[in-house]
Amino acid sequence: MYEGLSEIGPHFELSETHKMVRQSIREFAETEIAPHVKEWDQSHVFHRPILKKMAEQGILGLSIPVKYGGGGLDYIALAIACEELERVDTSFRVILSVHNGLCTATIWQWGDMEQKKKYLPMLATGEKMSTYGLTEASAGSDPAALKSKCRLEGDEWIINGEKMWISYTVSSDIFLIFAYEENVRHKGMRAFIVERDFGGITTDNIDHKMGVKAGETGWIHLDNTPVPKENLLGLPEEGFKVAMSALDWGRYTVGAGAVGGAKAALEASVKYANERETFGKKIGQHQFIQGMIADSVADIEASELLVWKCGWVKNQGKINTRETALSKWYATNAAVRCADRAIQIHGAYGFCDDYPVARIYRNVRGATIYEGSNEIQKIIQARYELGYYEDKPLRCMPPAYDPEEWAKEDTDKF
């Protein structure tokens, strides 16, 4: 009956390219970041030279076609890179999430030809850094509550407003900014590619965060910032769609990173359980400890499979809101569980910074909030299942992975 089938079922083995990506990113993270991350975390300092090193390694444009200056790799490779960076510290995975995911990929998906020619090469190569400005002090899970305003004056849009909880504001040159056109609410959200040099932009960091201390989180103030008409991203009425599809990129990378955070917690737990002794034997020989280790193994395996499934859907060029939300929701919750178990396994030492597990917990806890709280991700799952949500084709669909096309270097054929 099945003799005509050449293959059956999905594949779970990483390709040789994926294995090479994992090895190269791991070596980079362990060489360039790991020896210093405790110092950077405790001093609340972002080591900006790391951006240049990430650019030189091709990390910042990993899953952007070669003709745009990227690495031409697929979305599974992007997930692996996020996992390996967060395995060392979340702060450096966030760079990939906001720069490659939320910004560069969104411009690639929604930008017109001139926007792609102008911005993608400088972003994919790391010549310029970018970040995503949607959230405001009173508008997080409810983007309709944005107070930022814009108006068209001649050949320029004028933007006023303030964005909060934005990653790498101080280090970024390009901002993807969302604002409502004055006196327009229905389909009034507009999306803009904003350069720092346009003027009227002030940025700074937010101090005293619970986690992600080795990275930047800050605010953006826009005071009559002029933006050329040609820097409107998408059609005027598509601003909300641009914002939401950008979150599909961001949530995917957050979920992938959470797998790395969970693995770091498990690795620390296993190491400590094989060193620490109580009642005359290694604590790893106690069944309560074994139970926590086993629970973390299951959480990690399930999370990674959900992320890879989402990457497979993205590779097909399909709308992936449901899959992305599910992988982000499950993997970030799982990472918190793994980090919490790691603290418990370490006992009192888990409650201080002598071991990495306290930092891991602080970092992964934030991922259940940003890129859409996990409560929002649960609502998305329920509404799809109940039939309240359904995917409809977008004018600009997510780019499907095409290994031959993405490897071409002919920049005359954008």
| Residue type (1 letter), 189 | M
Quote the CA–CA distance of 79 and 195 in Å, as a whole number.
Answer: 28
Tell me if 178 sits within 8 A of 190, measured CB to CB.
Answer: yes
Quote the CA–CA distance of 373 and 302 in Å, as a whole number.
Answer: 20
* Consecutive H or E run containing 345: helix 321-346
* CA distances, 179 to each of 95, 147, 224, 234, 337 (Å): 23, 7, 12, 14, 37
Q: Is 114 a catalytic residue?
A: no
Burial status of residue 5 (CB atoms within 10 A of its CB: 0-12, 13-18, 19 or more): exposed
Q: Per the residue annotation, which of 83, 136, 216, 371 is the catalytic one?
A: 371
Tell me if 269 sits within 8 A of 292, measured CB to CB.
Answer: yes
Quote the CA–CA distance of 395 and 238 in Å, as a whole number.
Answer: 9
Tell me if 80 sits within 8 A of 22, measured CB to CB.
Answer: yes
In degrees, rounded to 5, the angle at the alpha carbon of residue 216 between the alpha carbons of residues 47 and 55 is 55
Active site residues: 371
